[in-house]
Amino acid sequence: MKFTATGLRRLGLAAGALASLEAAGYYLFTWWRVLQDGLRGPDFFSFYAAARLFLSRGGAHVYELAAQQEFQGQIAARWGAASYVVLPYIHPPYYTVLIAPLGRLDFPSAYLVWAAVNLALAGVALAALLDAEGLKGRGRLLAIALGAGFLPLFVTLVQGQSDLVILAPLALSYRAWTRGHEGRAGVLAGLAMVKPQLLFLLPILFLVRGSWRALAGFGAVAAALGAVSLAAFGPAGIGEYLGVVAPWLLGGAGNWPISGQTVYSLRGLLDGLIGVRPAALAILAVLAVGVALAIVFRRPHGRLDFALAVAASVALSPYQNLHDLLLLLVPGFALARARPPSPYLLAGCLLAVDLTLFVGSGLALAAVLALAAYLLVERLGLPSDVEENALAPGQVDDDRDVQQQGADSERGQAVEHL
């Protein structure tokens, strides 16, 4: 049997899609087992305890670690746990206001409601990314399969984490930014700032590109969220929050070190090599400035600029965990329109991150850094006279093989069809 290059590419994409769907099926089974086990283990118990604490005692006490331990202990008692590991709650005050209604439900009901919300947000995010890249035919099916089998998505869902509350507006912001709707992109980026340390380069992107509408939208949302936080928590509650987050940034708080929360970012590697955490943070800051300069000194390119800002933010984040790698779906999908062969870049990116996560945190860190570095090289290597719309659309068609468009074609580059 003779295989053509196109046939081998199709076979590879089909194998990747099948593997992803099988992984998604296994994740659903594992999730069902967690439900059967009485929800012992998911991070959601920390969020639920914070919601109940907020409703019971007010915002001024949410960030008191002793109070968190008390309310988390009440939940752990349902499992008959004599001892348990306290999971400090350090999300911003405005996020606490968002999840506060869950505290009025019993624990299992609150978990199921939040799971339904997260599944809906996953659908919104995936639809926005598919629409942004214009993927069709087999390319669309491949992207859906890869998203469903992406390990950080499963971890976010089963843990009841907050990353989908970030990803959905982030994906919508990406779509708006690439279509020139800068004000809308800024507003949506502001709504995505549930964990600001994961997206700290986005407002810098708006600034270096001189997008005042995006900055205005971002600033308006930030001001509104600040006002909500102040009204709900008061100055004392805000002070408690800052008092927990500031030492956490420098290296952990109390008996909860930060070392386990930085293994997927460059900070963890630097902390291990240098052993001086302020020095590691300084190096991260210098690298972040370098990324900003790489953007500002090249001709604007919406997709690559936004994708690089997200990927570099995650790679250089001072605090993150496995589920936070879910945000890499945005730069992963951006590669679907970078250049031919576009669908393979999307598949290769997500599968590489997935496979390395199963092998170990060190190799997974290498994959995260490689993605950010690849986007940086793409950004720097893009000729200054190349317009964004001149790049390949990354669209996969069901009926045709790879064809070369003539110099007078609409985009003037190779467009891949399967």
When the pLDDT of each residue in the chain is averaged and rounded to a whole number, the result is: 83
Residue 50 has pLDDT above 80, yes or no: yes
pLDDT for 34: 87
pLDDT tens figures, 346-356: 888 888 888 89
Q: Quote the CA–CA distance of 401 and 396 in Å, as a whole number.
A: 9
Crossing angle for the helix pair 201-208 and 212-250, nearest 10 degrees?
Answer: 150
pLDDT tens figures, 57-94: 998 899 988 898 899 988 888 777 655 677 888 899 99
pLDDT for 327: 96
Residue 224 has pLDDT above 50, yes or no: yes
Q: How confident is the model at residue 257 (pLDDT cuts 50, 70, 90)?
A: low
Least reliable range by pLDDT among 72-81, 141-150, 315-324:
72-81
pTM across the whole model: 0.87
More confident residue, 193 or 35: 193
Residue 389 has pLDDT above 50, yes or no: no
Q: Which residue bears the tokens 């992984």? A: 23
Contact in structure between 304 and 375 (CB atoms under 8 Å): yes
